[in-house]
A and B are shown apart, each in its own frame.
Chain A
Amino acid sequence: SSELTQDPAVSVALGQTVRITCQGDSLRSYYASWYQQKPGQAPVLVIYGKNNRPSGIPDRFSGSSSGNTASLTITGAQAEDEADYYCNSRDSSGNHLGVFGGGTKLTVL
């Protein structure tokens, strides 16, 4: 079983705000990074560190963390945001990238 827990599926109305969460003990001490994956494509980094976006990622994507929970928020979701989202962080063996959450399928209605 994954050391990072995500809801399997979340939906949001077009233009509304959605929060995708990731829970795990390692998140009390280490940041999560977030990846977007569309069908048939490689993952793309969307959030890293405290709340950093790579160049080219829209500012409607933001990250936050509290206790053992990291969150990815999309403010004003667009149709093109429909995708699978994965969190990643350090695992219990000490590997910094060692564990992914199970993924959340985001549907934009």
Chain B
Amino acid sequence: EVQLVESGGGLVQPGGSLRLSCAASGFTFSSYAMSWVRQAPGKGLEWVSAISGSGGSTYYADSVKGRFTISRDNSKNTLYLQMNSLRAEDTAVYYCAKVAEGPDYYYYMDVWGKGTTVTVSS
């Protein structure tokens, strides 16, 4: 069974840091790009970041560029999101998702974890 399990969320003060992890199982982790998506309380989904299967290419939303860093350890089947300089508006549930590629050069997120909650507050 394909499974993604996020961890590392919690309460952090503004300006602080947090590292999220996403443990993957049930598929060849290194063969797939991965993504982080977040959802602020009562709000819609927001794409945050993505990383290629090898880890050589990374992508970020403008709202987190320069503050967040996505990475992966393919030997541990684990995806990470290092979050620095956290702001109140980063408060959200953070989901990791497996990225699949279609034959016509399109992408979609076919498996999602249950999410981990990050609260930025003093």
Contacts and interface: CB of A to CB of B under 8 A. Distances in A.
Interface of A: 2, 30-31, 33, 35, 37, 41-45, 48-50, 52, 54, 84, 86, 88, 91, 93, 95-103
A42 B50 contact: no
Contacts of B59: 95, 98
Contacts, number: 77
Nearest to B62: A93
A41 B113 CA distance: 10
Contact of A95 (B47, B104, B106): B47
B47 A97 contact: yes
Interface residues of B, number: 25
B79 to A, nearest CB: 14
B109 interface: yes
Contacts of B76: none
